[in-house]
Structure 1
């Protein structure tokens, strides 16, 4: 059984939990601009926690395909006030969605418990910073960068190559002094993958558990749902829930989602059904 520890907080991953997406950005693919102001972001934090989110993932730089980069100063100005508000007003786990070492450092100082890095600590100084901060870190696979990752992604074997990349990043983390208990893995749905690649990963998600770390899955409202169902960004709830439940049944411990209440409800039904198998 996996659990996360950060300071004096412990989070059990014995059953799947929900991580709520809080994008404090004007240009994220699904909710860009909706929570861009401090007030709106804080209101969304309050809402998702009331709906059952175990973790709130706060990000100040969009990583959608083609997204422009954001300066360190701008990213800090977006996320730090929201992290401070959340830490002051809620007893919840806080994740900072960033690849920048200084944002990691200031976010943890402001109250964040987890670093969620789509670049798997490959930016200069990020690995050393994460090791020094000694908090759980999510390492994600991405082929390319957000600006070009969906241009023409290719793999000989997507499952094996994602596994190999994450295994190598784990080795770097351990060599840098991070503990195994502080590592979470994310196959990176939609980050440098075609529609076929994404569903191959979802179908064979248990293979990622061969590395023996908790797995985070984020496929909420993504193009792998929209392109398959021919649904626009505002009509992907059913597909997102189906993907989340398949991921949970395939062993994912953390589900990163936009639609918290609906995902929590679906997980509750699944958990009750699984519990009844043993009665």
Structure 2
């Protein structure tokens, strides 16, 4: 596994990662009534904080907190999104985990960073230039994701000539844009955006050729967990995609991904730690067999 030297050592919030030999597990906590996977089970503040702390206990390095999903639907007022995410971030400020806010609104990002968030996870690829300015001004890190549609807007039947080539070109251009607005290169993470304005064959192609994304030289995040390309590949409903999601995450890690965004934390943590043991990045917890 070749990982660019640019992408190896990073301090993100309270954590230092050596991405040459570490995989960060990012747990998803959505405080929304219409979230993709949990269907609103963490919509209340207490439930969201409890879910985050449970994920940390299960080994998550990172908590990604969202108050408005990217998928089509009516707009969420910025004030409402702030009210959803900021109290969770404030409650977790002493957790020792990396905290990111999943938002495409610069005002939400600024409020979240003031409350203790370390990273902005922008699924629009910095569509709003003000988002890059907030990241640059605050010194936060940013996840630059490939997508085509405006937030909450349908984009039926997306078509690509070569999806990987086009995604890589988009990410390269948006990274250059962020740097031109003053975002430090070592604060940038990229995400190819599996299933975001892509159909299943696109997402499979991105997975198969992920090394072309990681070759950009920035830490690569993959958000695969329980997505439709997993379900369609296996013929499984949303609640039966854990194994397929972990297989896809492991495949991506072997091609250079270093951050995996997941719903099923304990299972994914074990899978990533097993990869680490096989690669010699970490020692087994104990040694008894045939000793």
Deviation at 1:178, TM superposition (A): 1.2
| Alpha-carbon distance in 1 for matches of 2:45, 2:145 | 27
Structure 2 equivalent of residue 107 of structure 1? 112
1:122 corresponds to 2:127: yes
1:84 corresponds to 2:90: yes
The unaligned stretches of length 5 or more in structure 1 are none
Equivalent positions of 1:1-279 (< 5 A) are 1=5, 2-6=8-12, 9-13=15-19, 14-64=21-71, 66-88=72-94, 90-275=95-280
Contact 1:96 / 1:115 at 8 angstroms: preserved in 2? yes
The unaligned stretches of length 5 or more in structure 2 are 282-291
In the superposition, relative to structure 1, how do residues 267 and 169 fare at CA in structure 2: closer, same or farther (>3 Å)?
same
Contact 2:25 / 2:62 at 8 angstroms: preserved in 1? yes
In the superposition, relative to structure 1, how do residues 204 and 185 fare at CA in structure 2: closer, same or farther (>3 Å)?
same
Contact 1:142 / 1:149 at 8 angstroms: preserved in 2? no
Deviation at 1:210, TM superposition (A): 2.1
Deviations 1:193-231 (A, max 9, x none): 111100000000001122111100001000001111111
TM-score normalized by the length of structure 1: 0.94
| Alpha-carbon distance in 2 for matches of 1:178, 1:143 | 22
SS in structure 2 at match of 1:189: coil
| Alpha-carbon distance in 1 for matches of 2:242, 2:164 | 26
TM-score normalized by the length of structure 2: 0.90
Deviations 1:115-157 (A, max 9, x none): 1100121125112111111111000000223545551110011
Deviations 1:9-43 (A, max 9, x none): 53332321100000110111111311000010011
> In angstroms, what is the RMSD of aligned CA positions?
1.5
Contact 2:69 / 2:152 at 8 angstroms: preserved in 1? no
Contact 1:21 / 1:258 at 8 angstroms: preserved in 2? yes
